[in-house]
Amino acid sequence: MVVGDFAQGTQVAVIGGGPGGYVAAIRAAQLGLEVTLVERDLLGGICLNWGCIPSKALIHVADLKRQIEHADSLGLITSGVRVDLPKIMKWKDMMVEKLRNGVSSLLAKNNVQVVVGTARLTGDRSFTVEGPDGVHRFEFQHAILAVGSSPLQLPGIPRDGEVVIDSTDALEMTTVPDSLIVVGAGAVGLELGTVYAKFGTRVTMLDGSDKLLPMLDPQIGRVMERALKTFGIELVLGARVLGVNRKDSGAELEYSASGKEQSIVADRILVGIGRRPNTGGIGLEKAGVKMDKRGFVEVDSRMQTSVPGIFAIGDVVTGLMLAHKASYQGKVAAEVIAGQPAAFDGVHVPSVIFSDPEIATVGLTEEDAHSQGIDTKAGLFPFKALGRAMTIGDEGHGFTKVVSDARTGSVLGVHIVGPHASDIIAEGCLAVSSASHVDDLTLTIHPHPTLPESIEEAAEQVEHRAIHIFNPAVLGR
């Protein structure tokens, strides 16, 4: 049923209210444009409601539990910790709701019209929204597609939400499983696998790669392998899932690794093998929007699709599927629509995994640079030599590495695995984005005792002159 026989008009239609869509809507409104935002579910999208925010809440609680359990080594004697998962989930949901209400308030204050329902393009300047009270028709001058992504499923092993689960299900469980198989040792697997291991679950992690985190600096993967062992997580690399047999409670997963077929039984199987863009069923073909063979929308550096006036951002375009990338691209699209000079060109997107220890990277690894024919110099500083890391009892694993161009001295990349890496990386982002010279980092006085001192020391170590680790090669110069 179509409600009414006329179409509502808007200057800018934003389809999707996640971290890309609502940011794009607010920025467009700030620039004086009339904006309509369509969201089929909850404002904030996957990131705020079922991803970034709730997972970090659970990670915080799991970290706190482990700190309390090991507090006796610091002189704090405790009588034990009990996990009340329903209460933890209630607290997590309260945090999410507070942030979601904040997004709603910001949209209202910026005069963004919010429409609830499922949007489908019907042409290159029109779409419909199927909502609670029927179908409404809209016409637009410009549109920004920000419909996000969904978890990939294992072929032949569909999610049922009870035994075979995805990240959303793992963030909603009300009982701590005795055993958990995690398929995929990427960000989702490492973060949620570690959470439940800290809650007391026996965790086995499978990954198809022969190396852990092969896309990152090789030393980061080795640090993480050691860290997983400290949490009692069994890591199986080079694994290929063959099938799942349901049991009375749980399931048996069959897999091959090291040339052998094996099996393992667990209460839950968490699949975290990646995500796919939500480009199906939204009318891209009717609008004439081109996609690549993997289903991503093709865009130029201004985030414009093959159809003038229609833009796409975030997980539906190629690149890292990260909230902060989507937000940045949303601002670019809004500014281009408003006639301002903006582009997603030469931008360095940081990547963070909130594992334990945390991983944060930006720019090129040494291997990346060498593949591009760039000679490098790199400096590495271990957290075990950093006073602040010791005072917070977190010096066991990790390092900060600064990679520079051997010829020009510019900072090409910063790679961190260690405590609060997600916070420290911001300085690395600035250095890489501004093509700072490595001396800009060494000549910046970093307050003591702090974790960001590791950036200064790693930068100094590019020339083997870090103070707080021994450099025998420089003696006698």
List, by residue number, the catalytic residues: 448
- Name the token pair of 116: 């609830």
Three-class SS of residue 350? coil
Q: Which positions ≥6 away from 475 have C-beta within 8 Å?
A: none
DSSP state of 158: -
Q: Strands 358-363 and 411-418: what pairing?
A: antiparallel
Strand, coil or helix: 35: strand
**By C-alpha distance, which of 442, 392, 385 is closest to 419?**
392
Please check whether residue 148 is in contact with residue 16, taking contact to mean a CB–CB distance below 8 angstroms.
yes
Tokens 């499922």 label which residue?
118
Q: How far apart are CA 12 and CA 37, in angstroms?
A: 8
CB 15 within 8 A of CB 25: no
Unique residue bearing structure tokens 């989702």: 188
Q: Which of 443, 401, 319, 314 is nearest to 47 (CA)?
A: 314
Amino acid residing at 268: R
Contact 143, 13 (CB under 8 A): yes
Answer yes or no: are the C-beta atoms of 468 and 461 closer than 8 Å.
no
Dist CA 39 CA 310 (whole Å): 17
Taking the C-alpha atoms of residue 29 and residue 101, their distance in angstroms, rounded to an integer, is 19
Query: CB under 8 Å to 323, separation ≥6 — which residues?
Result: 18, 19, 20, 47, 51, 52
**For residues 10 and 139, what is the distance between their CA atoms, to the nearest angstrom?**
6
Alpha helices in 338-461 (DSSP H): 366-371, 387-391, 421-433, 438-442, 453-461
**Is 298 exposed, middle or buried, given 0-12, 13-18 or 19+ CB atoms closer than 10 A?**
middle
Facing residues of 236 across strands?
Answer: 206
Pair 316, 277: CB distance under 8 Å: yes
Selection from 40, 270, 273 nearest residue 161 by Cα: 270
Place of tokens 């507070």: 98
CA 151 to chain centre: 13
